[in-house]
Amino acid sequence: MKKYLLGWILSLFVAQMLMAQGFFPENGPFYMDTVVPRIDIAIHPDTLTWIYENPDSEIEFHAVFVFNNGSVIDTFETVGFRLRGNTSRYSAKKSFKVSLNTFVSGQKYYGVEKINLNGEHNDPTIMRSKVMWDILRKFGIPAPRANHVQLYINGNYHGLYLNVEHIDEEFVLSRFGNNDGNLYKCLYPADLNYISSNPDDYKLIENGRRVYELKTNEGVDDYSDLASFINVVNNAADNHLICQMDEVFNTYDYLKMISADLFCGDWDGYIYNKNNYYLYHNTATNKIEFIPYDVDNTFGIDWFDIDWTTRDIYNWPPSGESRPIYTRLVNHPDLRNQFTFYADLLINNVLNLDSLIQSIEVRKNMIAPFVTDDPYYPLDYGYSYDDFLRSYTEATGAHVKYGLYPYLNARKNSMNTQLETADMLPVIKYIHHKRTAGQQIDISAFVEVQIMPLDVKVLYSLNDGPIQLGQMTEVENGIYVAALTDIPDDSKVTYQISATDGLGKEQVLPCEAKVINPSSGETPLLFINELMADNASTIADEYGVYGDWIEIYNGDSEPVFLGDYYLTDNLSSPDKWQMPDITLPAGEFELFWADGDPSLGSHHAGFKFSKDGEEAGIFSTQLLPVDQIVFGEQFEDVSYGRLPDGNSNLVFFEVPTPGSTNSPNAIAENGNLSTLVMYPNPATGETIFINRVVNAQVFNSSGKKMFSGKRISIIDIGRYSPGLYVIVCEDGSRARFMVY
């Protein structure tokens, strides 16, 4: 049997490391915040009346959605529409949810399935939430995107709203590169106090809903990860807290989160009001991520007669109440120092208040014209346009105790007087490794220190032998990598990361050395040969359902027992689904359904693909890689795979061949689609090749003609923008290709 190990180049390795760290998607056209886009909702007037008369209803009704930002105009004929929020359901200026995928499965707009239109009725500036979301993103905390929009319903102006990104599977996929972990929506009284070791005890009910409401994997309904996390938070001994928390929680990003939370005076979140946050089990790191949510009660909004500008950052919760994550971290000497460092970094380095206030002023002037005619703005608290203008510089009374700008200055001054003098240990996070071909192991980590210079090393041993040192080098801001070479494939490797700052302070993490298992035996030539992530009508399973699918090809000279291998859609979680106990003969193909429901049969995998792009991998029971594909956006009834079978060349197939060879001469015609094949596809270079000589034209996705030529087999794409293109031949055949 031949041996085959797929290597990772450094750029892909760093990209995967960044995936574990968190992404920050661009605003794009939908969250563009340099203009005030218009959103139109068309819904039957009687239905709208019913929605207003039944504010607690969660029923979504058919509506039409139109988005117009001045350069992009798009219409969705069928969306779901309802009220959203808590107390805002009973306000005059209500908030709304638009669900693009309620009636049209998989329908999205710029990667978004659900849209939150918030009335911000408590805030006369209509700005506080937007400012906090921007601060969180600027500080490297995965947080929703947001922009101001004009909302019209049935042609009637309903006022200025904040369009806030919904936190769901699409959100966590865009931030962490995976969405197969448990996502919990945590609302009052979600204090994260320990109840018991029984995971079901955390399914407690309040006001007709779960306090920790599982929003993904509801069918499995397994709270074991939450119970384990809460147990560590509450019960880990002080001298083991750093180590045990580091195993289950993204501790250091949470320290940044609470720094921003307390600067912005967010009392309606976890730390004060045990409310309004999400927890996500990031399967790339196997750690819980903390995601903030609903941040309108900030920057001096107050209902408790508390001055939030002066409240102690080291003692923020209500007196006598337990908030174990915050309390335990802030009261631990080393973690307290790191929190202090992040708080100081935020208010004295990351944020320049003069620049921040100037940018808010520009935005205020941009949205002001849409406040003057807002018919709902005055209804809840009697606000006038004059109140809007002065609310930035002075208090407007009642629950608005500070103008936005005075709050920012007062809070910064107060926090600076509270900050303790502290020297923090180096921060080490996002530790990642890959065993590659050529007897090499790549290791990376993100490292941050208070005092430079910084020396980062990997401490490793082979087969539990003596510790060896490998120097790590910075390749991007804070990202350090090392390549351990001449590592025999049959060697077990254990390692830790050591970081030493300019004061000589050293941190070594993880506390328990990570283990990289040896490569045992030979790896067969198993390939992910073809897959489809948007199967509308190509092939149905035994139940008549058109689900995602993946084809495995045995390119070896001997049969392979598939029961010894895993399939996954997350390369950092290689054991997602074990293949059934079947033997695949040499040169044969096996088709599996990636529909996320293994209860349907032995060929139904426990994961689904995302048509926006994802990963696919085959791993051995020792969790060693056999084959992998990282793919981008996919298209309806177009498959993606290797040409020819088992080759490294990956292309789109207009005529998919599930369960059989991908060779061009075996692809049957389908209407006016023929054996026309473009390669490489996707294309990343200057040229793309055609498998035969043709007379053809090339069009972009907007229908613009890019090229026309006769008797061609090569097309120059050096000036083509990234995107989807179609080649149309005189004989009626056509094919799509991607340019990256």
**pLDDT exceeds 60 at position 582:** yes
Tokens describing residue 336? 């307290």
* First and final C-alpha spacing in the chain: 36
Cα 184 → chain centroid: 14
Cα 149 → chain centroid: 24
Q: How far lies 467's CA from each of 442, 493, 494, in Å?
A: 17, 10, 9
Query: What is the C-alpha to C-alpha distance for residues 681 and 698, in angstroms, rounded to an integer?
Result: 15
Would you say 248 and 229 are in contact if contact means Cβ atoms under 8 Å apart? yes
Q: Write the burial class of residue 219 (CB in 10 Å: 0-12 exposed, 13-18 middle, 19+ buried).
A: exposed
Question: How confident is the model over 401-458, as pLDDT tens digits?
Answer: 999 999 999 999 999 999 999 899 999 999 988 877 668 899 999 999 999 999 999 9
Confidence at 87, pLDDT banded by 50, 70, 90: confident
Is residue 628 classed as helix, strand or coil in its secondary structure? strand
What is the per-residue DSSP string for 10-29?
HHHHHHHHHHHH------TT
Confidence at 565, pLDDT banded by 50, 70, 90: very high
Confidence at 12, pLDDT banded by 50, 70, 90: very low
Greatest Cα-to-Cα distance within the chain, rounded to the nearest angstrom: 81
Helices (H), 468-627: none
Question: Residue 419 forms beta bridges with which residues?
Answer: none
Query: What is the C-alpha to C-alpha distance for residues 222 and 220, in angstroms, rounded to an integer?
Result: 6
Query: What is the C-alpha to C-alpha distance for residues 9 and 402, in angstroms, rounded to an integer?
Result: 53
Q: Which of 42-51, 88-97, 182-191, 581-590 shows the lowest per-residue confidence on average (mean pLDDT)?
A: 581-590
The residue among 693, 690, 700, 739 whose CA lies nearest residue 717 is: 739
- Find all residues with CB under 8 Å of 387, minimum gap 6, and list them: 124, 396
Paired sense of beta strands 146-153 and 38-42, if any = parallel
What does the chain come to in residues?
A: 740
Confidence at 727, pLDDT banded by 50, 70, 90: confident
Would you say 461 and 493 are in contact if contact means Cβ atoms under 8 Å apart? yes
Cα 640 → chain centroid: 23
> What is the identity of the amino acid at 714?
I
Would you say 480 and 470 are in contact if contact means Cβ atoms under 8 Å apart? no
Give the percent of the chain with pLDDT over 70. Answer: 94
**Architecture of the domain made up of 669-740:** Sandwich (2.60)
Would you say 62 and 80 are in contact if contact means Cβ atoms under 8 Å apart? yes
Q: Write the burial class of residue 539 (CB in 10 Å: 0-12 exposed, 13-18 middle, 19+ buried).
A: middle
pLDDT of residue 61: 97
Query: What is the C-alpha to C-alpha distance for residues 40 and 47, in angstroms, rounded to an integer?
Result: 16
Would you say 645 and 555 are in contact if contact means Cβ atoms under 8 Å apart? yes
Q: Which of 203-212, 306-315, 618-627 shows the lowest per-residue confidence on average (mean pLDDT)?
A: 618-627
Q: Which of 27-41, 99-113, 642-656, 687-701 shows the lowest per-residue confidence on average (mean pLDDT)?
A: 687-701
The overall average pLDDT reported for the chain is 90
> What is the identity of the amino acid at 5?
L
Listed in order, the ranges of the chain carrying CATH 2.60.40.10 are 428-516, 669-740
Q: Which residues of 366-386 are buried (b: 16+ CB within 10 A; e: fewer)?
A: ebeebbeebebbeeebebeee
**pLDDT exceeds 90 at position 694:** no
Query: What is the C-alpha to C-alpha distance for residues 616 and 670, in angstroms, rounded to an integer?
Result: 27
**pLDDT exceeds 80 at position 84:** yes
Query: What is the C-alpha to C-alpha distance for residues 599 and 593, in angstroms, rounded to an integer?
Result: 12
Query: What is the C-alpha to C-alpha distance for residues 228 and 126, in angstroms, rounded to an integer?
Result: 40
Q: Which residues of 264-300 are buried (b: 16+ CB within 10 A; e: fewer)?
A: bbbbbbbbbbbbbbbbbbbbbbebbbbbbbbbbbbbb
The residue among 647, 722, 737 whose CA lies nearest residue 690 is: 737
- Find all residues with CB under 8 Å of 539, minimum gap 6, and list them: 546, 549, 656, 658
pLDDT of residue 178: 80
**pLDDT exceeds 80 at position 110:** yes
pLDDT higher at 607 or 307 = 307
What is the per-residue DSSP string for 60-75?
-EEEEEEEE-SS-EEE
Mean pLDDT of 65-77: 96
Query: What is the C-alpha to C-alpha distance for residues 338 and 351, in angstroms, rounded to an integer?
Result: 18
**pLDDT exceeds 70 at position 668:** no
> Which residue spans within 231-315 are E strands per DSSP?
277-282, 287-292
Query: What is the C-alpha to C-alpha distance for residues 98 and 91, in angstroms, rounded to an integer?
Result: 19
Query: What is the C-alpha to C-alpha distance for residues 293 and 291, in angstroms, rounded to an integer?
Result: 7
Tokens describing residue 356? 């921040």
309 membership: H or E segment, kind and range? none
Query: What is the C-alpha to C-alpha distance for residues 115 and 101, in angstroms, rounded to an integer?
Result: 11
CA quadruple 70, 71, 76, 77: dihedral positive or negative? Answer: positive
Question: Residue 675 forms beta bridges with which residues?
Answer: none
**pLDDT exceeds 90 at position 292:** yes
Helices (H), 265-403: 270-273, 324-331, 333-345, 353-372, 385-390
**pLDDT exceeds 80 at position 286:** yes
Helix axes 128-138, 251-264, angle to 10 degrees: 150
Question: How confident is the model over 219-274, as pLDDT tens digits?
Answer: 889 999 999 999 999 999 999 999 999 999 999 999 999 999 999 999 999 999 99
CATH of domain 428-516: 2.60.40.10
**pLDDT exceeds 60 at position 687:** yes
Query: What is the C-alpha to C-alpha distance for residues 600 and 596, in angstroms, rounded to an integer?
Result: 9
Query: What is the C-alpha to C-alpha distance for residues 183 and 218, in angstroms, rounded to an integer?
Result: 10
Sheet holding 277-282, edge to edge: 212-214, 183-186, 277-282, 287-292
Query: What is the C-alpha to C-alpha distance for residues 289 and 279, in angstroms, rounded to an integer?
Result: 6
**pLDDT exceeds 50 at position 94:** yes
Would you say 301 and 399 are in contact if contact means Cβ atoms under 8 Å apart? yes
Give the percent of the chain with pLDDT over 90. Answer: 65
pLDDT of residue 22: 52
**DSSP 8-state symbol, 721:** P
**Architecture of the domain made up of 520-663:** Sandwich (2.60)
Instruction: Quote the Cα angle for 569-654-691, to 5°.
Output: 115
pLDDT of residue 519: 67
Query: What is the C-alpha to C-alpha distance for residues 133 and 24, in angstroms, rounded to an integer?
Result: 12
Would you say 577 and 604 are in contact if contact means Cβ atoms under 8 Å apart? no
Q: Which residues of 340-356 are buried (b: 16+ CB within 10 A; e: fewer)?
A: bbbbbbbbeeebeeeeb
Question: How confident is the model over 499-531, as pLDDT tens digits?
Answer: 999 999 999 999 999 998 776 556 788 999 999
Q: How many Cβ atoms are within 10 Å of 557's Cβ, its own excluded?
A: 11
Between the ranges 117-126, 596-605, 701-710, where is the mean pLDDT highest?
A: 117-126
**pLDDT exceeds 50 at position 533:** yes
Mean pLDDT of 91-119: 93
- Up-side HSE of residue 43: CA atoms within 13 Å toward CB? 23
Question: How confident is the model over 164-179, as pLDDT tens digits?
Answer: 999 999 899 889 878 8
**pLDDT exceeds 70 at position 675:** no
The residue among 55, 104, 63 whose CA lies nearest residue 80 is: 63
**pLDDT exceeds 50 at position 351:** yes
> What is the identity of the amino acid at 29?
P
pTM check: above 0.75: yes
